[in-house]
């Protein structure tokens, strides 16, 4: 019985959801991809700097 009530409440909540349109989805996706690329470059540079610094110490 609890499971049926849960499914009913899920159905009610899903009716209240406002889904993004195609333009908002493209914008959000490009933001995530762009941020991921920038973070990969940043972390790559940090890794390179640490490797360079460790080679100097060796």
Q: What is the pTM of this model?
A: 0.69
Residues 6+ apart with CB under 8 A from 51: none
pLDDT band at 1 (very low <50, low <70, confident <90, very high): confident
Q: Stretch 38-58: mean pLDDT, rounded? A: 96
Q: Which CA distances in Å does 39 have to 2, 22, 28, 31, 48? A: 44, 26, 16, 12, 14
For residue range 14-47, what is the model confidence (pLDDT) as tens digits? 999 999 999 999 999 999 999 999 999 999 999 9
20 within 8 A of 28, measured Cβ to Cβ: yes
Distances (CA, A) of 22 to 2, 28, 33, 36: 36, 10, 16, 21
pLDDT at 58 over 90: no
């Amino acid at each position: 019985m609890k499971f049926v009530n849960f499914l009913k409440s899920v159905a009610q909540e899903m009716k209240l959801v406002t889904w993004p349109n195609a333009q908002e989805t493209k914008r959000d996706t490009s933001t995530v991809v762009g941020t991921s690329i920038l973070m990969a470059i940043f972390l790559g540079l940090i890794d390179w700097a640490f490797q360079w610094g460790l080679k100097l110490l060796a």
